[in-house]
Structure 1
Amino acid sequence: MKICAVVVTYNRLELLKLTIEKLLGQNRKLDEVIIINNASTDGTKEFLESLGDKITYVSLEKNLGGAGGFSEGIRKAYENGHDYFWIMDDDTIANEESLQKLEDALIRFNDREIGFLASNVLFKDNKPCIMNVPHLYSCEWGEFASQGYLRLEAASFVSILVNRKAVKKVGLPIKEFFIWGDDIEFTKRVSKEYECYFVTESIVHHYMNENKGVDLINEGNARVERHFYDIRNKFYVAKMNGIKSVFAYIKDIIKLDINILFKSKVGKFKKLKVVMNGFFNGIGFNPKIEYIDRK
């Protein structure tokens, strides 16, 4: 089978260098490494040019966010004829056996249609990375738990191996999400059609600055505006899941506003403004899923 890596990068050159080094040093050699450069301004383009034919890279004219970058990267991997796409951020540091363990799982499940496999994502201190804890399928371990494979409903774009057939059937990640939620929305689409698993022995490390999840209440002022996308994108997902999900989402927004007022220590009104902007933009936010090769 042909497997390529798809990495999206934006202004994290030193981490990208380490990510690429680990990809090129895999026990199971990759057939191609595709880097999507999201209009970085830190010398990333020049570095990628210096690597010659070791990698394939695409330098975008503007930053499309993680969602747009992964959409472009998966499209490129599909067009280049690969069977599986190993997707990750530019701060994902793989062990030399990370891909081999994912391929071993594919061989184990060769009698089943697998949509994606997710690695075991750890923080730099070897504790589970909170941002990347996957969603179990129906809150069950699954029949292969004793073998180290847990059935999944969704996972993040930090080391997942996606089947080409799944992309053809369910379409690309929604590029208009820009950041936040695109990976969960996409992998849930896949898991509705195919079996998907968490591979405990495929370990990667996520070199985030801090091991924490999305938390607008305790967020500092510098990153507050980014939460606009989280609020807006979740509204889209709620609408796609029906009226009950919309009412549950509205209830969550009201609860979030109350918690910001009473628990946030800085930037309360700035945070409330971001929530309201995300909410009202979400009302009319209805991007279409893009499909490729639907002949």
Structure 2
Amino acid sequence: MRVTAVLVAYNRKELLRESLEALAAQTRRPDRLIVVDNASDDGTDAVVDEMLDAWGTDGRNIRLDKNTGGAGGFAVGIAAAVADPETDWVWVMDDDTVPTTTALEAALDAHDRYRESGRDALAVMGSRVLWTDGQDHPMNTPKSKIRASAAERQRAQRTGGMEIRSISFVSAFLRAARVREVGLPIADYFLWNDDFEYSARLLRGARGLFVPESVVTHKTKIRGSSDQDPGPRFYYEVRNKIWVFRCSDALHGWEKVLYIGATGRRWLRTLLAAKHRGQLLDCLRRGWVDAWAAKPRPTKDVLRNTGVPIDVMVELERITAREHARVG
């Protein structure tokens, strides 16, 4: 299996260095590495150039002229990865993600065991995500498939994992063939819920596996879930989650009902626990208004004139056209 790793970076050059060193030290090293630099201004470009020397022609630095957020960065990186027709898996992560040395090897071993146990292929895999203290990171807990059949659950368990319905971009493995079929992340999300929407879209009608033997460390400042007083980013949580329910075909109708209820309870807990409740209420208001005022723009339009290389933009538009033909 040919694997392309995609890492999205923005102004965290020391963490980025650690992440790139960990990728180079894998017992089963990725076949290619693509770094998408979201217009960093802290010297990230120099770190990337230095670290990619060891990859030769198998490494690529895509430096954007504008910060497109995690959603835009991953759309660019994934498009660049699947432009190589030999790529089988795209391994995505942020610049504060540090894989253990066997993270990729363990995921591919789990894939092989899964493939041997039945005909259906995996569309998505996800690693176990820890914080710096060795405990599971609550921000990156995979969502299990609610109505997984007994056969699905047993097959995943025999493989050593769990059947999933969505996963975060903190060490997710995306099958390239499924990406080419379904499309790319929605760049207009910018950040927050882009990975939830995209992984759920890839997994609708497909199989996903959480692989606890594939381990990474997510080096966030605190060990907490994303709803712990998120500050101004709460705007994106509100707007994007409504966009998921209103505009995306990632979830079945009955799933949307369940997630709407869970989201309402989560927002209420966030507001009640917030130190700066006025700020979050303003984010809630603006996110609600903007989510209903417009739909997400096409990803190719969002990323135009942001410094995306021509060959990647061509592939991005090709995938987008294929997705529209499939849906429409």
Same fold per superposition (TM over 0.5): yes
CA distance in 2, matches of 1:212, 1:251: 18
Question: 2:236 maps to what in 1?
Answer: 229
Q: Does residue 295 of structure 2 align to residue 271 of structure 1?
A: no
Match of 1:282 among 282, 291, 294: 291
CA distance in 1, matches of 2:94, 2:284: 26
Contact kept, 8 Å, 2:114 with 2:159, in 1: the verdict is no
CA distance in 2, matches of 1:22, 1:150: 26
Q: Give the C-alpha shift of residue 257 in structure 1.
A: 6.2
CA distance in 1, matches of 2:79, 2:283: 32
Q: Secondary structure at the match of 1:213?
A: coil
User: In the TM superposition, what are the counterparts of 1:217-256 in structure 2 within 5 Å?
Assistant: 219=229, 224-240=231-247, 245=256, 249=260, 256=267
Q: Does residue 68 of structure 2 align to residue 68 of structure 1?
A: no
CA distance in 2, matches of 1:23, 1:265: 37
Kindly tell me: are residues 87 and 259 of structure 1, through their superposed partners in 2, closer, same or farther at Cα, counting changes over 3 Å?
closer
Contact kept, 8 Å, 1:98 with 1:203, in 2: the verdict is yes
CA distance in 1, matches of 2:76, 2:109: 28
Q: Give the C-alpha shift of residue 77 in structure 1.
A: 0.3
Match of 2:224 among 206, 212, 218: 212
Q: Give the C-alpha shift of residue 169 in structure 1.
A: 1.5
CA distance in 1, matches of 2:193, 2:203: 15
Kindly tell me: are residues 269 and 84 of structure 1, through their superposed partners in 2, closer, same or farther at Cα, counting changes over 3 Å?
same
Deviation string 1:112-140 (CA, Å, 9 cap, x unpaired) is: 32101111111111111101000001166
Q: Does residue 15 of structure 2 align to residue 15 of structure 1?
A: yes
With normalisation by structure 1, the TM-score equals 0.89
Q: Does residue 156 of structure 2 align to residue 156 of structure 1?
A: no
CA RMSD of aligned residues (A): 2.6
Q: Give the C-alpha shift of residue 288 in structure 1.
A: 5.5
User: In the TM superposition, what are the counterparts of 1:1-295 in structure 2 within 5 Å?
Assistant: 1-50=1-50, 51-52=52-53, 54=55, 55-81=59-85, 82-110=87-115, 111-138=119-146, 142-143=153-154, 144-215=156-227, 219=229, 224-240=231-247, 245=256, 249=260, 256=267, 260=271, 263-264=272-273, 266-287=275-296, 292-293=318-319, 294=322
Amino acid at match of 1:119: S
Contact kept, 8 Å, 1:116 with 1:160, in 2: the verdict is yes
Range that drifts further, 136-145 or 174-183: 136-145
Q: Give the C-alpha shift of residue 251 in structure 1.
A: 9.7
Q: Secondary structure at the match of 2:153?
A: coil
Range that drifts further, 58-67 or 41-50: 41-50
CA distance in 2, matches of 1:136, 1:243: 15
Deviation string 1:255-287 (CA, Å, 9 cap, x unpaired) is: 846973xx3563222221111000110102312
Q: Secondary structure at the match of 1:142?
A: helix
Contact kept, 8 Å, 1:35 with 1:58, in 2: the verdict is yes
The alignment covers a number of residue pairs equal to 288
With normalisation by structure 2, the TM-score equals 0.80
Q: Give the C-alpha shift of residue 254 in structure 1.
A: 9.2
Q: Give the C-alpha shift of residue 213 in structure 1.
A: 1.0
Kindly tell me: are residues 151 and 33 of structure 1, through their superposed partners in 2, closer, same or farther at Cα, counting changes over 3 Å?
same
Structure 2: state its 5+ residue gaps: 300-316
Range that drifts further, 247-256 or 103-112: 247-256
Kindly tell me: are residues 47 and 201 of structure 1, through their superposed partners in 2, closer, same or farther at Cα, counting changes over 3 Å?
same
Kindly tell me: are residues 145 and 259 of structure 1, through their superposed partners in 2, closer, same or farther at Cα, counting changes over 3 Å?
closer
Amino acid at match of 1:29: R
Q: Give the C-alpha shift of residue 212 in structure 1.
A: 0.8
Kindly tell me: are residues 112 and 248 of structure 1, through their superposed partners in 2, closer, same or farther at Cα, counting changes over 3 Å?
closer
Contact kept, 8 Å, 1:131 with 1:212, in 2: the verdict is yes
Contact kept, 8 Å, 2:6 with 2:81, in 1: the verdict is yes
CA distance in 1, matches of 2:171, 2:255: 32
CA distance in 1, matches of 2:243, 2:259: 13
